[in-house]
Structures are given as structure tokens and as C-alpha cells.
Amino acid sequence: MPPEPASADAPDRPRTSPVPDLATLAAGGKRAVARALALVETARGKPDLVALLDAAARAGKAEVLGLTGPPGVGKSTLTNALVRRARAAGRTVAVLAVDPSSRRTGGALLGDRARMKTDPDDRGVFVRSMAARDRLGGLSDDSVAAVVLLRAVYDLVIVETVGVGQSEADISLVADTVVLCIQPASGDSLQFMKAGVMELPDIIVVTKADMAEVARRAASEVAGALSLAGSASVGWTVPVIRLSAATGEGLDAFEAAVAAHGAFLDTESRRATQRSAQEDKWVEEAVRVRFGTHGLARARKFQLRGQGPFAREAELALKLTSRQD
């Protein structure tokens, strides 16, 4: 016998929000993370999602490693090697590959993810591509939110960006440690010095170290460029490491440098200070992209205290949209 239709007078059943809380997300595995990242792209600004993102921003347990450099320099090969080593050490890893956007669909072209060699059945590895969209800096607002979610769930988050240059400095808005990858015999070090990029990284990697003398010469050129540019972090000397992800040469030295920079950040509250400054920049960039420089100037008049960055962004958007001063 078919069930009777619900009465019009029957009380409404409580609706379950599609946005999980942080504990549910962390326990839900790769599918739950994938669904949450989809919501980042479709439900931006919704109260439940704002609450989740701010909770994730407060949790933020993972080390975030940002890899940037020209196309073909070997970022994906290095990422593959780092994922293997992290999993061998029992750490969970998320990789966010920020790819160029398709002009036709606006979505990611998936170039970096296509080169990733991971076991799809490994619950400890999550790989996702996101489109840079119209952001020259390589990181859209959705990408920033994705990093925030991933770093609350995984032990290590690796972010690959589409290139490097003055306009690609967005990687420093999400990464704890920025790694600039340079290819030998490419002339990159001179170009980067002209563009002011040498002030960006915490670690510089000269890839394809198996090219021997050419790689050594490139490392020497980079060290010279660094001596002129200086480091953005007072008290930290940027190491230059020759590395071949294919042969494994230099990987131990690279991981030691990453660990040393992490220890540097964990002294004198540097990591907390850096992440707080990043959050302020997220809010500013989100407002600027949506409302322009005039809107950003208006937003700076509002004093919002005691809120997470995504709640601040949502409230500022509401104030600017309603034209309340």
C-alpha cells in the first residue's frame, strides 16, 4: 500500500545544511572535502559556509608549502616526490594545483593535476585543481578559501601556482613557506631580480641538479641575486638548494630547509603574526575584487573586531552593497 501523502498541516521537517561543521569535515574523508570545496565555489558568503571557513582558519594545523616558478621548471615532479615522502612518514597531504583558466568554460585546464601520480585509493592524499580565473596573482578568492579548509584537515598542504612574477605574489597570501623553483640555463634569476621576485621566496630551489655544472652555475647566480635583493623575513637567510626530484638529489636538504623555516616561524609568534597579516590581505583583496578600489577605501572606514576573516568579508560586502556608512 503506497504511503499517504504528507498533510499540508504537517509540521516541516528540519532542514539539514549541506555545509558540514569542521569535525564532520575532518572525519568525512576525501568525499566530504571535495563536497566542501564545491560549496566554496557555489555558496560563497552563505552564513554556514562563512562559519565553517572561519573555524577552519582558527584551526589551521597544517604546514602550507607554496611552490611557484615558470612553467616546465619541475614543480609537479617535486610535488610528486614530496607527497611520496610525506606519506612514507605517515603524514596526510593535500595538493592544490592552481591552473590557468579555460577561456571557454572559466574552469581549470587541469594541467598540473594530470601530471600528479598519486594513488586514488590513498585516503591520506587529496589532489584538487582550481582555476586562477581572472586573477593575475594566480590565486582566486575560492583558492584562498580552499587552502584554509585543506590546512584544517591535512598535515601538509602543497599549493602550486601558474607562474611567477610581481603579479604572482599571491602565493605569499596563503603559504607559510614560499618556494621559488628555477631551472638551470634559463636566465630566470636575472629576470626574477628585475621583477623583484627575489624578495618573495623563503627557499629557492634550482631544479634538474643532475645537469651538474650548469646547475651549480645557476645556483651561484641565484645566490648573487639574493645578496642584492635581501630577504623579506628579518632573521631568515634564504637557502639555495640544487635539487633533482627525478634522482632524489637534494630532497633531504630541501626537507631540512622547510623544517628549519617552520621552526623559525614557530619562534616569537612569527607564524601567528604572518597568518594574521594574511587574513587581513584576504579581506582586502576580496573587497577590492568585488567593489573596486573605491569600495576598498570605503570598507577601511569600518572597524570590525573580534571576527574571523570570512565573517568580516561577508559583513563588509553587506555594508557596501546596502551603501551604509
- Domain CATH for 52: 3.40.50.300
Residue 287 sits in the same domain as residue 208: no
* 119 part of a folded domain: yes
Q: Count how many domains the chain has.
A: 2
**Grid cell 598540473 in the structure block, residue:** 112
Distance CA 188, CA 205 (A): 12
Task: Please give the pLDDT value at position 109.
Answer: 45
* 226 part of a folded domain: yes
Written in H, E and C, the secondary structure of 185-245 is CCCHHHHHHHHCHHHCCCEEEECCHHHCHHHHHHHHHHHHHHHHHCCCCCCCCCCEEECCC
**Residue 104: pLDDT above 50?**
no
Of the two residues 177 and 109, the one the predictor is more confident about is 177
Structural domain of residue 303, as residue ranges? 274-321
pLDDT, the chain, mean:
82
Residue 89 sits in the same domain as residue 166: yes
Q: Reduce the DSSP state of residue 70 to 3 states and report it.
A: coil
Residue 191 sits in the same domain as residue 294: no
Residue 184 sits in the same domain as residue 316: no
Task: Please give the pLDDT value at position 9.
Answer: 47
Residue 81 sits in the same domain as residue 165: yes
Q: What angle do CA 268, 273, 279 make, to 5 degrees?
A: 165
Task: Please give the pLDDT value at position 82.
Answer: 95
Distance CA 257, CA 155 (A): 18
Residue finishing a domain among 249, 267, 285: 267
The 10s digit of each residue's pLDDT in 68-88 is 888 888 888 899 999 999 999
Residue 215 sits in the same domain as residue 314: no
Residue 290 sits in the same domain as residue 223: no
Percent above pLDDT 70 for the chain: 78
Residue 278 sits in the same domain as residue 261: no
**Residue 166: pLDDT above 70?**
no
Task: Note the pTM of the prediction, 2 decimals.
Answer: 0.86
Average pLDDT over residues 293-312: 89
Task: Please give the pLDDT value at position 13.
Answer: 45
